[in-house]
Structure 1
Amino acid sequence: MSCPYEHGADDVPDIPFPDAFRFDPGPRWAHLRDEAPLTRVRTPAGDVVWLVTRYDDVRTVLTDPRFSRAGTVAPGAPRVAVSSPLPGTLPTTDPPEHTRLRRLVSAAFAYRRVETYRPWIRELAGQLADGLAADGSPADLRAALALPLPIRVICRLLGVPYEDRDRFREWTELAYSMVPAEADRVHAAMAALTDYLAGLVAAKRADPGDDILSELAADPAGLSPGELTAFGLNLLVAGHETSANQITGFVAALLRDPALWDRLVAEPALVGTAVEELLRHTRLSETGQLRVAVKDVPLAGGTVRAGDGVMAAIAAANRDPRAFDRPDEIVLDREPGRHLAFGVGPHFCLGAHLARVELQEALTALTSRYPGLRLAVPADDLRWRRVLVSGVDALPVRW
C-alpha cells in the first residue's frame, strides 16, 4: 500500500488541512480514503501520528483493545491539541479501570432517566426559541438558543451555578485551543477549571443538592473526590460545547438547502431520523480521536507499531461511500444506526441520549415556530471556530 507521507518528517502534512473549517470536506479526505487509508499527519501539538479515514478501519481503532486510550496520557504520548487530557478519567482509561468508572456513573445518563428531563428541555428550548423573535430579525441563533440551551441543561444536571457560566465558558473555550502559542493560557484555564470543579465537589459533599454531582458524591463506594472532579470537568466542557456546535451546525446545514428545512417543517415526524443524519453529515472535528497502539497491529493495508499514535477520523468515516450511499448528501429519512458521531465500543459517548434529546427538542422548537427561517447571510460567509471541537461561530438568521 502506498503511504505518500510516511517517508520523511518534511513530507508529513499538518492536520487540520489547509482547506478545513467549512461546510464541505476538502478533496484530500476522499483521496486518503481511496489511496492512502493509513497515512502520517502532524497534529497541532507537533506530534506525528497515523491517520485512518475508512469506516471499517475507524471502527477497528475505536473498538480493538490493542488501541489504548490510557496510552494517550502516558509520559511522552502524542497529543492532538494544546491541553493535555486528564489521566484516570473515563476518556483516558481502558478496561477494567474504565469499566469500573463507567459502571459508577452510567445510571446518571441512562435512557429512562434522561427521558424524564425531556419535558423540561422541551419547555426550555421553546422559551429560547420564543426569545429569538424578541431579539428581532435578523438574530444570531447560536447566541440566542444553541449556546444557552446546553449550558442551562448541563448546569442543572451537574448542579453548577448558572451564574458562573461566563467564568467557565472562557476556560472551556481555551480547553479546545489548537494554537501552541496559547499554551500558557490553556494550562492556566485548565488549572482554574479544575480548581473550580474541585471546590464545587467539596461543596456538594458538605451540602448535597438535587443534582448528579451531589448524588455521586454521596456514594461512599463511588468515585473519589479527584475522580469526581475530573468527571464533572469533562462533562462541563463537552456537555455544552459539543451540543452548541451541533445545534448551530445542524440548522446551518438545513438552511444552506432551504428545501431540507421546508421538508422538516412539513414532516415533523422526521426530526428523529433527521438528527441522526445530521450527526453523520455534520463535522465537529477536523482531526479525530486519538489512540496509542499497545501491540503491532495490521491496519488498512499497513502495520501500526506498538507505541504509535493513531487518529481515527470519525468525520471521514461518516462520509465513506463504502458504508453510506450518497454520503455527501443529507437524506433526512436515511435509515439511522451506523454513524460514528458518538463513537463506538467502550468509549461510546456517555451523554449520547442527552445530546439527542437536546438536538431533537431544539429542532422541533425552531421548525414549529419559524417555518420560514432562512440564513441572513450567504452560507459561504459564515465564519468557523478554528478549535478542536469546531462549528459555526455565529448563525445570523431571518424569518
Structure 2
Amino acid sequence: MTVMKDPAAATCPIRHPLDLGPDGVNRPGLYLNELYHEIREAYGVVPVVRANGTDAKLVTRYEDVKAALRDPLLSREKALPFDDVSGLEGTILGLDGAAHAAVRGLVKDHFTPRAIEARRTEIERCAAAQLQVMIGRGAPADLLADFALPFALELICDLLGLPEADRADFHRWSEAFLSHSNLSQEEAEASLFAMYGYLAGLLQQRRGAPAGDLLSQIAVNGAHLPEHQLVMLPIALIVGGWETSASSIGTFTQVLLTHPYGGYDSAYRYLVDHPDDLVGAITELERMFSTTAADAMPRYVTADTTLPSGTHLSEGELVISSVNAANYDPRAFADPHTMNFARFARAATDTDIERHLSFGYGIHHCIGRHLGHGEVVAAIGLLLRELPTLRLTVATEDIPRKIGHAVGGPTHLPVAWS
C-alpha cells in the first residue's frame, strides 16, 4: 500500500504496526518503513487499525508529536487497556499527574546529566571489563551476548544494588517481559510475577537495612506509596535501562560498520580517525535508528483538543505518536535522511540531546536518557579505541532482528577483529 498514490488513505484505516506480517507478528527492519515518510508528508495524521482490533490516529509530524506527548489531555494511564505491552500499570510508563510525579521523584536525581557525569568513570570501567572478557574469549564473537547485554545489565544492576548472584534471573525475566508476541500471555505474566515477587522481598529487606544504593532509597523514601507502584519502579528501570541500551549499542555498531561516511568506506573507520565526532555521531544515530518502542505506547484523549497542524482529536480516541517518523520530519531536520555527525554539534548538553524525540517528550520522557546515551558513547568509544579493525562476519542483511518485541534491534551481531 502506498499512501501517496491512494487519496483514500487519509480516511481509510491503515493496519498498525506498519511492519505487521500476515501471521500477526511485527517485523521492523533496520530502516524505518517508507510508509511512515509517505504518511508524514502526505497527511501528517491518519487513522489506523491496530493489531488488537482497536482504532487509533497515527501522528507523524514533529510539532504534532511533541504536542501530543506533552498535552495533559492525552492520558497514558487511560490508554493502558489498549497497550501492546502488558504489565505497565503502576509504573512511570503508565501513570499520569501526581502519581507519576511521586514515583518519578524517588529516582530522578540519580539520572540527571550531573549525576551521570559523576558516574562516567564507573560506566567506562564497567564497559572496559566486559570488553576484555569478550576479547579474551577470542573472535568470532557475538557483540550483543558477549559485550553489550552483560555490560548494560551489570551497570543498571550496580546502580540499583542488586545482588550479583541473582542478575542472570533478571536477564531471563526481562526478556520475557519485553516480548509481546513470541511468548504466551501466561509465560510473560509468569516472568513478571517472578520478578515482582523477588523485588518486593528485596525492597522490604532494604527498608529495614538500607545499603546506600538506589534500591534502598526507593524502599525508604517510597514507603508511603502503594507497594505495586514501588515494586514496578525498579522493574521499569531494569527493563528499560538494560535492553534499550544494549540494543542501541548493537544497532549503532551495525550501522557504523556498514555505512560509508566522510570519504571512508565505513562510518566506523571514520570515527576511529575522528574520535572527537563520537558524541555527535551517537546522537545522530539515536535520531535515525532509535530502538525504543516508539509506537507502542498510545495515549487516550480525555477531552477534545487540536494539534498544531490543525488536526482535531476527539475525546475517547487513541493517539499513537510516532517519534521515529517525527525524527525524519524535514520541517525539523534539514536533509533528514542523510547521516550528519555535525547535526548535534553540542550533543553533550541536555538541550541538544532532546532535539530529537527518541527519548520521548513531556512528563513521560525517558528518565534514563542521559544514562543510556552515556552508556552507548562509552561502549562504542571503547570499541573504536580497542578494536579499530572490528568487522561483521556476516552480511548486514543476514543479521537476525527481533520480531514481536517492544525494543528493536538485532538478536545477534557476529563480529571479528584482527
User: What is the TM-score when the length of structure 2 is the normalising length?
Assistant: 0.87
Structure 1 distance, partners of 2:183, 2:125, is 42
Runs of 4+, deviation exceeding 6 Å: none
CA distance, structure 2, for counterparts of residue 351 and residue 286 of structure 1: 16
Alpha-carbon deviation of 1:62? 0.7
- The correspondence of residues 1-399 of structure 1 with structure 2, limited to 5 A, is 4=9, 6-7=11-12, 12-18=14-20, 20-73=27-80, 77-81=81-85, 83-87=86-90, 89-179=91-181, 182-219=184-221, 223-257=225-259, 258-284=265-291, 285=293, 287-299=295-307, 300-335=309-344, 336=347, 337=352, 338-386=355-403, 387-399=405-417
Point out where structure 1 has 5 or more consecutive residues left out of the alignment. none
Residues 368 and 220 (structure 1), Cα distance of their counterparts in 2 relative to 1, 3 Å cut: closer
CA contact (8 A) 1:293 1:304 kept: yes
Q: Percent same amino acid among aligned pairs?
A: 32
CA distance in 2, matches of 1:270, 1:277: 11
Alignment partner of 1:310: what SS? strand
Number of matched pairs: 391
What secondary structure is seen at the aligned counterpart in 2 of 1:128?
A: helix
Alpha-carbon RMSD across the aligned residues, in angstroms, is 2.2
Distance in 2 separating the partners of 1:340 and 1:172: 24
Greater Cα shift, 263-272 or 293-302? 293-302
Question: Can you list the C-alpha shifts for 1:260-315, whole angstroms capped at 9, x where unaligned?
Answer: 11111111111211121111111314634321111112335532211211111111
Q: Distance between the aligned counterparts of 1:42 and 1:68, measured in 2?
A: 19
Q: TM-score, normalised by structure 1?
A: 0.91
- Counterparts in 2 of 1:180 and 1:118: CA distance versus 1, 3 Å: closer
The whole-number CA distance in structure 1 between the counterparts of 2:161 and 2:299 is 32
Q: Can you list the C-alpha shifts for 1:310-359, whole angstroms capped at 9, x where unaligned?
A: 11111111122221122222212212421011111111211111112211
Hey, what's the Cα distance between the residues in 2 that align with 1:44 and 1:246?
A: 26
Question: What is the alpha-carbon distance in structure 2 between the residues aligned to residue 84 and residue 132 of structure 1?
Answer: 34
SS at match of 2:197: helix
Secondary structure class of the residue paired with 1:218 = helix
- The offset of 1:5, in angstroms, is 6.5
What amino acid is the match of 1:287?
A: D
Is the CA contact (8 Å cut-off) linking 1:5 and 1:13 kept in structure 2? Answer: no
Partner amino acid, structure 2, of 1:36 = Y
Unaligned runs of 5+ in 2: 1-5, 22-26, 260-264
Q: Is the 8 A contact 1:213 1:228 kept in 2?
A: no
**C-alpha distance in structure 2 between counterparts of 1:223 and 1:150, whole Å:** 28
Separation in 1 of the partners of 2:415 and 2:180?
A: 29
2 CA distance for matches of 1:260 and 1:237? 30
Maintained 8 Å contact 1:159/1:212: yes
Secondary structure, aligned partner of 1:178: coil
Alpha-carbon distance in structure 1 between the residues aligned to 2:231 and 2:216: 12
Counterpart-to-counterpart distance in 2, 1:358 and 1:181: 29
User: What is the CA distance between 1:140 and its match in structure 2?
Assistant: 0.7
CA distance in 2, matches of 1:302, 1:57: 9
Deviation for aligned residue 1:121: 1.3
Q: 1:54 to 1:216 in 2, by over 3 A?
A: same
In structure 2, give the amino acid aligned to 1:294: T
> Secondary structure at 2:266's aligned position in 1?
helix
Taking structure 1 as reference, are residues 52 and 263 closer, same or farther at Cα in structure 2, changes over 3 Å only? Answer: same
